[in-house]
């Protein structure tokens, strides 16, 4: 089984207890007080980690783009969090005993997260999948990497992983992802988790979810997903970037409970009877009984026998051992036959 150990010691692996990441994205609307409230609510819902975005106007778009899209610069400024604010939120996460992580979009942002915020891993956005120089840099900074694969062909994913491996970094978690917001069920192709596991047997495979509802993340657990990343908001009715498709605290709690129930139900591939199921055998299985009244001295024939509950007598699998026996007592119809009834 492929595993990765995060910088805080948490072991991540296929079919292990899933690691749940609340993706806060821009649903804090650039407000630290809102972000702190989101951290608290994510912890209350049962999340293992909250993840922010470390972008700035300089790291996300080019100057030429801003010249043609002036409003974009104002939006990025509004929704971004400066280094000092991220460091403050990382400290609050430590107080709340929930992991803090973020997605960097520049070398400075990545280094800041590792050295100042002490993140357990670096999250790599799907948009960076073909940014090979940046992937090599991230591979070299000494942190486990969580790689989203939205918009990527298998060939692009292979090349991205190879670029990281070139740095000697083998601490990689790969997330299946569909970069549509929200993603309709028919676009998700959840069994890609199995395809990625087949292609990248050395690395754990998780799922970054952009669907609405809780069913698809829970279903991914049945495929062994090691990480679930889900967009999180305090109020999905507010207009914002991806906020309307994000999950509110109550639904996040329900999703996490569903994921853990599915995980608890998985078991292994070997056939094992739990003791509680074994206790059902005498109640629910059948025993050999008489199909008609029989007299003492009768030689038992197949037509004399049937099987009914409870399973406390001779099991139907042993019915052949009863046929041909001579009775030493009378037995009424529809009664259990026991070994002491034979001569």
Same domain? For 10 and 92 the reply is: yes
Same domain? For 188 and 310 the reply is: no
Domain limit, last residue, from 238, 266, 294: 266
Domain limit, last residue, from 218, 233, 266: 266
The count of domains in the chain is 2
* CATH number of 283's domain: 3.90.1210.10
Residues of the chain with confidence (pLDDT) below 50: none
As a residue count, the chain comes to 343
The pLDDT score that the predictor gives to residue 75 is 87
Domain limit, last residue, from 237, 266, 295: 266
Cβ–Cβ under 8 Å, residues 177 and 208: yes
Spatial strand order of the sheet with 122-124 comes to 99-103, 49-53, 19-23, 227-231, 205-209, 172-177, 145-148, 122-124
The pLDDT score that the predictor gives to residue 59 is 94
Same domain? For 335 and 210 the reply is: no
Same domain? For 47 and 144 the reply is: yes
Distance CA 231, CA 25 (A): 7
Distance CA 12, CA 173 (A): 8
Same domain? For 220 and 291 the reply is: no
Same domain? For 116 and 237 the reply is: yes
Same domain? For 91 and 111 the reply is: yes
Cβ–Cβ under 8 Å, residues 153 and 160: no
Same domain? For 256 and 288 the reply is: no
The pLDDT score that the predictor gives to residue 240 is 82
The pLDDT score that the predictor gives to residue 5 is 98
The strand pairing partners of 209, in sequence order, are: 230
Residue 278: how many other CB atoms lie within 10 Å = 9
Q: Which domain holds residue 120?
A: 3-266
Same domain? For 249 and 303 the reply is: no
Same domain? For 19 and 104 the reply is: yes
Same domain? For 173 and 288 the reply is: no
* CATH number of 116's domain: 3.20.20.70
Same domain? For 189 and 300 the reply is: no
The pLDDT score that the predictor gives to residue 241 is 83
Q: Phi/psi class of residue 267: alpha, beta or left (left: φ > 0; alpha: ψ in -120 to 50)?
A: left
pTM metric for this prediction? 0.91
């Amino acid at each position: 089984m492929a595993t990765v150990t995060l910088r805080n010691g948490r072991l991540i692996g296929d079919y292990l207890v899933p690691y749940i990441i609340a993706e806060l994205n821009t649903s804090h609307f650039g407000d630290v007080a809102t972000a702190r409230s989101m951290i608290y609510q994510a912890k209350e819902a049962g999340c293992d980690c909250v993840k922010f975005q470390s972008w700035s106007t300089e790291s996300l778009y080019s100057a030429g783009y801003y010249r043609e899209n002036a409003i974009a610069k104002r939006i990025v400024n509004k929704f971004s969090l400066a280094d000092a604010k991220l460091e403050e939120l990382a400290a609050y996460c430590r107080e709340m005993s929930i992991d803090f992580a973020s997605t960097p979009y520049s070398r400075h942002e990545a280094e800041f997260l590792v050295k100042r915020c002490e993140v357990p891993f670096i999250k790599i956005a799907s948009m960076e999948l073909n940014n090979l120089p940046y992937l090599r840099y991230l591979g070299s900074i000494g942190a486990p990497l969580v790689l989203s694969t939205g918009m990527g062909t298998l060939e692009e994913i292979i090349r991205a992983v190879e670029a990281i491996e070139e740095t000697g970094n083998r601490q990689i978690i790969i997330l299946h992802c569909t970069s549509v917001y929200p993603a309709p069920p028919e676009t998700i192709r959840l069994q890609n988790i199995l395809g990625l596991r087949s292609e990248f047997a050395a690395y754990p495979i998780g799922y970054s979810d952009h669907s609405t509802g809780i069913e698809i993340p829970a279903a991914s657990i049945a495929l062994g997903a090691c990480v679930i990343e889900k967009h999180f908001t305090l109020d999905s009715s507010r207009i914002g970037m991806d906020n309307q498709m994000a999950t509110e605290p109550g639904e996040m709690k329900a999703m996490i409970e569903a994921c853990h129930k599915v995980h608890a139900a998985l078991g292994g591939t070997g056939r094992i009877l739990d003791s509680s199921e074994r206790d059902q055998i005498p109640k629910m299985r059948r025993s050999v009984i008489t199909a008609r009244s029989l007299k003492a001295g009768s030689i038992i024939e197949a037509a004399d026998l049937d099987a009914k509950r409870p399973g406390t007598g001779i099991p139907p699998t042993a019915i052949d051992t009863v046929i041909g026996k001579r009775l030493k007592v009378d037995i009424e119809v529809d009664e259990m036959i026991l070994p002491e009834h034979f001569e």
